[in-house]
A and B are shown apart, each in its own frame.
Chain A
């Protein structure tokens, strides 16, 4: 009886752990000059899948920010990544059209900005906000 109870508890624990470890999916599509992504996602581990539908090369940076109006560099064309560095949770280098990339990250609840920081792209519309809700 005691042994059976131990097995039952262990099985439940494993099941509960498996459910809690499953990451959320975040599908991001980039194209000239627009980023499509869900507006909300649950906090915790997130698997980000980034697809570039071109025709230009694009990168993807995710930074925690309260607003999409990010600080710019002096050129007025690109966001200031140095200033955003402490808040940056993901930075994917430029990839060509047709590329699909995946990244796993842990997102705390809060407000985030997803953007491409190639010259002019941020300013030309390649930015979107994401709200990470606590579970």
Chain B
């Protein structure tokens, strides 16, 4: 049987069924049946009694008639007047009527005709048959006497053997016998009637008792069913965790037992005016009103339990004043404290950042919408600040996410000290924060932006290290009136990008030209994907010059994007987006494959001098993501070039990561290096690499970051760093390359420092491969000329 099918025998609890109706109906039916039976029997018995009386009268009359017949015969026999034949006729017809039913004839001057039923009882019929025989014998004897025939010769039919031959005596004996049997028949009939009446009385008593018992049984069943139903209701009400309370003019008139479980308060304490004492003061008015007017609605109020805690109750109010069983207002309440708490928690979670506890993007957006709405009415100004932490990603990558989270918490706390209580500080995600300043003009917004940057200027102690962190702040001011939150947020974002572009640790106030300058940065990702499909990317090469020979000894392959929509897009704009969106992987593959193939072409054309290296940048994302080793080997194999003709430039960040990704990157680089692939550290000096890490890293060249090279002529610190970096490279036996060499002075300086290689606009801009081919051809010719 399917579990969904209910077996017919299964008891279904239905406390609301009208159980009382069927027993009542049964009681009424039993009463009706017993009454009908009783009345029917009474009618039948009364009718029978009436007949019995008539029969007894006629039977009794036979005795008198028999005696009258004898007198009449004797009178006629003596010659006097008499009518014995009439009496004999009446006797005979009456005897027949008594036996077989019919009309007993009237007796002159005495009775009327009487309708008689046929005799029923065996004894009764036997006696009446005997009577009929005796009447016959009597009449025959009387007739014989009157006709002067021998009386003793009359044939008798009633088995009598009369002991005398005296005619008169024989006649009198027969009359006595007739009289006697008639009397006995009458007695029998009367006895039968008496018995019928006794039987009827007995039956009536039995019926009465049976009816009473049946009624009692059904009544007991009704009471039992009612009790059970009441018990069901009581169980339902008392076992329910819901609180049921009824209110009348005198306050609470009933409260269900569940109150003890719910509040720990005894029922008695809540009855009468006591209920109000436990209701929260703020909710008392609403509860009083609900209990007074009884309008059906949902009501939420607080009741205090015996521990002093406030429990949230959600109640449905029903007006049952017209219900004669209740006569009051009924509150059916459930404890929803946990639900309310959960809802509050979920609401908080939905609108707050789990890490910092600050408002999240949704709440920020909501507050901004509200502020803009107010502003459109009042014309008040407001400002939005977007803050992006500089270098947060590196912290996350190098120190792990726990440290990153700690940093964000610290930043949130510091920002909290820089704002007014009415301002809304939010974390939009990652290292992006936003600030909504109401009633704020540009001056105030700038002040707070500066204050935010100032708060970050103090070093943050993180994982045992003192970290210095910067931020880029975008400021947009809404001067009042209607406005759209998405416009403000986009403008703040643009301003923030502008600040970031302008350098670290600064703010920028949005102006409309900024939008045009930066373009719609948010559309770049989509266009990047389109660009990949459309083949909008190409690889340029920037020559690297040996400072000793002034010859091109290598090139750095650089990705260039010529967007169909935007035109040429600087790598500084799209590379970070490619990295954050994962598009750096296909782009990295494209550069590597293209660079290897180009190296193969140059090699086949015989343009490459010995030890010429094509350098390809590999981002930290590519390295930690894994698969670089396989990709490099595939590219080398596809292009059929020697591993030594390819170099990989990696940043410090990529090699100092201590997590699993960092280990894998290190392992793969080591393997590639073992196979002959060259490795260079790019942007050296800007990351967090330590000498210890550098020592065990398979490196062939260190590239001094352009920021140091460009300051080498004027800034002693940059010069010192450059000097040390070059010395360091030489100390560990690798080449040093100066990046971003743009002037003869810079070239002179690095030359003096003993730098091995240089790269920069001074020698060549990144150019299409054809231009490099030309330069290589020139160089080849020059070398050939010199040889000649």
In the assembled complex, the Cα of A57 lies from the Cα of B174 at a distance in Å of 16
> Is residue B4 contacting chain A, with contact meaning CB distance below 8 A?
no
Q: Give the interface segment out of A81-89, A104-112, A121-129.
A: A121-129
Whether the Cβ atoms of A57 and B184 lie closer than 8 Å is: yes
A-B contact pairs, 27 of them (CB 8 A): A32-B130, A33-B159, A33-B160, A34-B159, A54-B123, A54-B127, A55-B123, A55-B129, A55-B130, A55-B181, A56-B180, A56-B184, A57-B184, A57-B187, A118-B180, A119-B177, A119-B179, A120-B172, A120-B173, A120-B174, A120-B175, A122-B163, A123-B163, A124-B173, A125-B159, A125-B160, A125-B161
Chain B residues whose CB sits within 8 angstroms of the CB of A34 once the complex forms: 159, 161
Chain A residues whose CB sits within 8 angstroms of the CB of B764 once the complex forms: none
> Is residue A97 contacting chain B, with contact meaning CB distance below 8 A?
yes
Number of interface residues of A (CB under 8 A): 22
Chain B residues whose CB sits within 8 angstroms of the CB of A98 once the complex forms: 123
Given contacts A55-B129, A96-B123, contact A124 B160 (CB under 8 A): yes
Contact pattern, B 620-659, Cβ under 8 Å of A = 1, otherwise 0? 0000000000000000000000000000000000000000
Whether the Cβ atoms of B180 and A121 lie closer than 8 Å is: yes
In the assembled complex, the Cα of A77 lies from the Cα of B162 at a distance in Å of 10
In the assembled complex, the Cα of A120 lies from the Cα of B127 at a distance in Å of 16
Given contacts A33-B160, A56-B184, A97-B123, contact A120 B129 (CB under 8 A): no
Chain B residues whose CB sits within 8 angstroms of the CB of A119 once the complex forms: 176-177, 179-180
In the assembled complex, the Cα of A63 lies from the Cα of B162 at a distance in Å of 21
> Is residue B199 contacting chain A, with contact meaning CB distance below 8 A?
no
Chain A residues proximal to chain B, CB less than 8 Å: 31-34, 54-57, 75-77, 96-98, 118-125
Chain B residues whose CB sits within 8 angstroms of the CB of A123 once the complex forms: 162-164, 169, 173
Whether the Cβ atoms of A33 and B161 lie closer than 8 Å is: yes
In the assembled complex, the Cα of A122 lies from the Cα of B176 at a distance in Å of 11
Whether the Cβ atoms of B173 and A77 lie closer than 8 Å is: yes
**B contacts with A: majority SS:** helix
Number of interface residues of B (CB under 8 A): 25
In the assembled complex, the Cα of A82 lies from the Cα of B172 at a distance in Å of 22
Chain A residues whose CB sits within 8 angstroms of the CB of B159 once the complex forms: 31-34, 125
Whether the Cβ atoms of A125 and B177 lie closer than 8 Å is: no
B127 (CB) vs chain A CBs: closest residue: A55
B168 (CB) vs chain A CBs: closest residue: A76
A33 (CB) vs chain B CBs: closest residue: B160
B172 partner, pick from A33, A55, A77, beta carbons under 8 A: A77
In the assembled complex, the Cα of A56 lies from the Cα of B129 at a distance in Å of 11
A124 partner, pick from B126, B129, B177, beta carbons under 8 A: B177
Chain A residues whose CB sits within 8 angstroms of the CB of B130 once the complex forms: 32, 55-56
> Is residue B577 contacting chain A, with contact meaning CB distance below 8 A?
no
Chain A residues whose CB sits within 8 angstroms of the CB of B160 once the complex forms: 32-33, 124-125
Whether the Cβ atoms of B181 and A56 lie closer than 8 Å is: yes
Chain B residues whose CB sits within 8 angstroms of the CB of A55 once the complex forms: 123, 126-127, 129-130, 181
B184 (CB) vs chain A CBs: closest residue: A57
> In B571-602, which residues have CB < 8 Å from any A CB?
none
B158 (CB) vs chain A CBs: closest residue: A32
Closest approach, in angstroms, between the C-beta of B662 and any C-beta of chain A?
Answer: 128
Closest approach, in angstroms, between the C-beta of A34 and any C-beta of chain B?
Answer: 7
> Is residue B188 contacting chain A, with contact meaning CB distance below 8 A?
yes
Nearest 8 CB-CB pairs, A to B?
A: A125-B161, A55-B126, A120-B176, A119-B176, A124-B160, A120-B177, A120-B173, A55-B127
> In B183-203, which residues have CB < 8 Å from any A CB?
184, 187-188
In the assembled complex, the Cα of A54 lies from the Cα of B169 at a distance in Å of 24
B169 (CB) vs chain A CBs: closest residue: A76
Chain B residues whose CB sits within 8 angstroms of the CB of A76 once the complex forms: 164, 169, 172-173
Apart from A96-B188, A122-B163, A123-B162, list 15 A-B contacts with CB within 8 A.
A32-B130, A32-B160, A32-B181, A33-B158, A55-B130, A56-B184, A76-B173, A97-B123, A119-B180, A120-B172, A120-B180, A121-B177, A124-B162, A124-B173, A125-B160
Chain A residues whose CB sits within 8 angstroms of the CB of B180 once the complex forms: 56-57, 118-121
A118 (CB) vs chain B CBs: closest residue: B180
Chain A residues whose CB sits within 8 angstroms of the CB of B127 once the complex forms: 54-56, 97
Whether the Cβ atoms of B123 and A33 lie closer than 8 Å is: no
B128 (CB) vs chain A CBs: closest residue: A55
Whether the Cβ atoms of A125 and B162 lie closer than 8 Å is: yes
In the assembled complex, the Cα of A97 lies from the Cα of B192 at a distance in Å of 14
Chain A residues whose CB sits within 8 angstroms of the CB of B169 once the complex forms: 76, 123
Chain B residues whose CB sits within 8 angstroms of the CB of A75 once the complex forms: 172
Chain B residues whose CB sits within 8 angstroms of the CB of A124 once the complex forms: 160-163, 173, 177
